[in-house]
Structure 1
């Protein structure tokens, strides 16, 4: 009898467990799976019960059906929602945030692979569309949406830009990792003026915590204009290093290619004896990163090449197929002098190349990127290597000029010869301040060089965007620091 009761109990437990498992499995089947819009559009979850969250891009109410286009920023294309008119809600307006549950179905329309047959629609966040500055059927110009830095990410153009920017960032890091570079987190706050131009933002505490004549860091400190000097330190131990970080220039400029805060990719290579060693890395990096962006962000890039700069795709593809040209600064000056174009700035040997000069040189080369090398020595900072064997006093420096933008890369060999570097620092009265920099030459110095790439200018180049303020999430420039 005891054995019978024990067996009965075991059977009851097993039966209850099976019933619980069936109930749980039934519940799991019914529970909607959360999907991004990009995942839903892939078509991998047809006939599945799913939930999508995003913002309404359009509303079309018809007698038989309610149609919504919903986007969550994961891709350019929106997901069409098909619902019964009974699910309509006055709060369902352009810009409102929604949560939609339903079944993914194959769409009958060629322009969209799938659609979501909605069973439930919940408005999570209202949007007063009459006051909303972005209009439902309007393709706003970049200049217009620039007025709304807090809202412009809701537009197709700017959301595409941010996805491209994110992919380009990943491509930069992947390129350097695959090529044996070590990433260095260089400081934002520094006591050095690497460029020597004096365009610095000085840092001071908002509330005075010490005596008035004492600096917070004991010495004047600034927002960095370049990480180069810190990378040189690291290149003396790791050979190949890079950083990808913000840089700051206090230029009083409203031009289409200058910002007060921007991002720079900076590279330093030890055991580098020629400018050609630098240009090889510059060109390879430019092409590999661009190829990845064009491949992985094809739809987003096409938006720019069709609507922002029509036909620009051909220019970009030609850039990837051809080798970049190389000319000396002296050759560039001769080309400018022979030009019939009237320039606002002089084109004598020894002058700095301005944007108008750079753009003319690129056009002269058939709209191909061109490296300009061997600049006048006096135009370059103290760390640039002296080309003492040249008939004209030049420096081993290089800039890469690209179509529509001008300079995107700038670099040089660094002066590794202690006596020449010390003499130049003495001449400009900076020997004491940069004594630590001379130590790098005293203790195991090697020939080395490096370059920096303006990330925003690079994006301008591949997308055909005219103004640099339209390729960065929150532009900072003279007399403007919104948000």
Structure 2
């Protein structure tokens, strides 16, 4: 092709050529992530499309990692904090235009300095950006360590070995899950916030008004958290946002209960929504119980587990609004609860949320991420071989994390004012009762 010469062009053609050159310089080239990462022309205007793998907002800047599947490596995007908005969440599909610049980080050669960020596909599974994980119903672990398990084997299978020498269908004993927590912990190694919602099973020989053999539980696990305060905030936000949604979307159903089942109970719900949740330590709770003139059926010595009568009294004593009780004796909590080594009494970084009329509704803890302490605890319980895979989670990329579970039927008792948990589930299962 001959070189372009102004003398060969009319004034109009020259203007068109100049406009075309200007357009090409200003219009970003659409690149795949793998091309952007390997692109050597720093300063090039580009456009990428992909999915957000992380969002880290700061006061003046916004940092994203975006991937489109063309490379295992994500492209770091740096933008002004003004480009951040509520739709920009983990997993959302985005289109980003900007300039490719040299990165100050040794881990990457280039990064994208964004001029414009458009969210073309929202990803908002729940308001706080948690990712739903479908945890298994069949499992080989006893998360709670209480031994209240339903073992699962094929009907009619003999206890002796099969033709391959296995005594069990899965080669090891399998049970109906008591909690999806340990599976969530595994997934929390890849995602900052995960949750599950599904059936759980406890072989408790109980006929009480707040226990079921099969019930539903919302469980969440949060990475990079090192304080019970952060955990309690998520628990309180879950209660408030769920209740707000319930009252807004199902007002007639709720009003029916508050009129015919629990007259006047709506005032209790409004009080719980207006007032801040109270917080006390387990030690303070024991002191309150021992200072009371009320006679309790169960002991209130330090080190004893709180019973339903204790929990209901504490909630009433503290204003009849939801109450967090923290820092339980270490011996009362399962092996995964984090050891509060810096406290004079041997306690765990664990918390229960007690609610009016019910008692415990949520239970959670920071998880023990320190491998040496976790190994010691499991060895003391004789579980170090059984939970070798759990120790591996601490060996490879572990971070401080914590989580909790909320019994959904107990939540319904709390907001509807129902007194018996068997009345908030269509087909209640409990000891000596499974009619269909």
Assess same fold via TM > 0.5. yes
Say which of 389, 398, 401 aligns to 2:354. Answer: 401
Q: Contact conserved, 1:411 with 1:450, CA < 8 A, in 2? A: yes
Alignment-derived partner of residue 182 in structure 1: 131
Alignment-derived partner of residue 170 in structure 1: none
Task: Give how far 1:228 is off.
Answer: 0.3
Does residue 474 (structure 1) correspond to residue 423 (structure 2)? The answer is no
Q: Contact conserved, 1:243 with 1:267, CA < 8 A, in 2? A: yes
TM-score by length of 2: 0.70
> Whole-Å Cα distance in 1 between the matches of residues 246 and 127 of structure 2?
17
Alignment-derived partner of residue 337 in structure 1: 290
Q: Counterparts in 2 of 1:366-381, with a 5 A limit?
A: 366-381=319-334
Task: Give how far 1:437 is off.
Answer: 0.5
Task: Give how far 1:207 is off.
Answer: 2.7
Does residue 199 (structure 1) correspond to residue 148 (structure 2)? The answer is yes
Distance verdict in 2 for CA 1:175–1:344, change over 3 Å: farther
> Whole-Å Cα distance in 2 between the matches of residues 434 and 388 of structure 1?
23
Does residue 236 (structure 1) correspond to residue 189 (structure 2)? The answer is yes
Task: Give how far 1:383 is off.
Answer: 0.3
Alignment-derived partner of residue 317 in structure 1: 270
Q: Contact conserved, 1:175 with 1:285, CA < 8 A, in 2? A: no
Task: Give how far 1:433 is off.
Answer: 0.8
Q: Counterparts in 2 of 1:38-187, with a 5 A limit?
A: 177-187=126-136
Say which of 148, 161, 180 aligns to 1:211. Answer: 161
Q: Which structure's CA Rg is the greater one?
A: 1
> Whole-Å Cα distance in 1 between the matches of residues 292 and 157 of structure 2?
57
Question: Does the residue aligned with 2:361 lie in a helix, a strand or coil?
Answer: strand
Structure number with higher helix proportion: 1
Ranges of 4+ aligned residues in structure 1 off by more than 6 Å? none
> Whole-Å Cα distance in 1 between the matches of residues 202 and 127 of structure 2?
31
> Whole-Å Cα distance in 2 between the matches of residues 398 and 365 of structure 1?
16
Alignment-derived partner of residue 306 in structure 2: 353
Task: Give how far 1:311 is off.
Answer: 1.0
Task: Give how far 1:208 is off.
Answer: 2.1
> Whole-Å Cα distance in 2 between the matches of residues 465 and 332 of structure 1?
26
Pick which of 201-210 and 297-306 moved more: 201-210
1:397-426 deviation line (CA, Å, top 9, x unaligned): 000000000000000000000000001111
> Whole-Å Cα distance in 2 between the matches of residues 176 and 424 of structure 1?
36
Alignment-derived partner of residue 455 in structure 1: 408
Q: Contact conserved, 1:175 with 1:289, CA < 8 A, in 2? A: no
Alignment-derived partner of residue 292 in structure 1: 245
TM-score by length of 1: 0.63
Task: Give how far 1:178 is off.
Answer: 2.0
Task: Give how far 1:211 is off.
Answer: 3.3
Alignment-derived partner of residue 269 in structure 1: 222
Task: Give how far 1:176 is off.
Answer: 5.4
Does residue 386 (structure 1) correspond to residue 339 (structure 2)? The answer is yes
Task: Give how far 1:295 is off.
Answer: 1.2
Where structure 2 has 5 or more consecutive residues not aligned to the other structure, the ranges are 1-122
Alignment-derived partner of residue 201 in structure 2: 248
> Whole-Å Cα distance in 2 between the matches of residues 339 and 260 of structure 1?
34
> Whole-Å Cα distance in 2 between the matches of residues 238 and 382 of structure 1?
23
Alignment-derived partner of residue 41 in structure 1: none
Q: Contact conserved, 1:410 with 1:452, CA < 8 A, in 2? A: yes
CA-atom RMSD, angstroms? 1.3
1:266-320 deviation line (CA, Å, top 9, x unaligned): 0000001000111000001100110111111111111111111111100101111
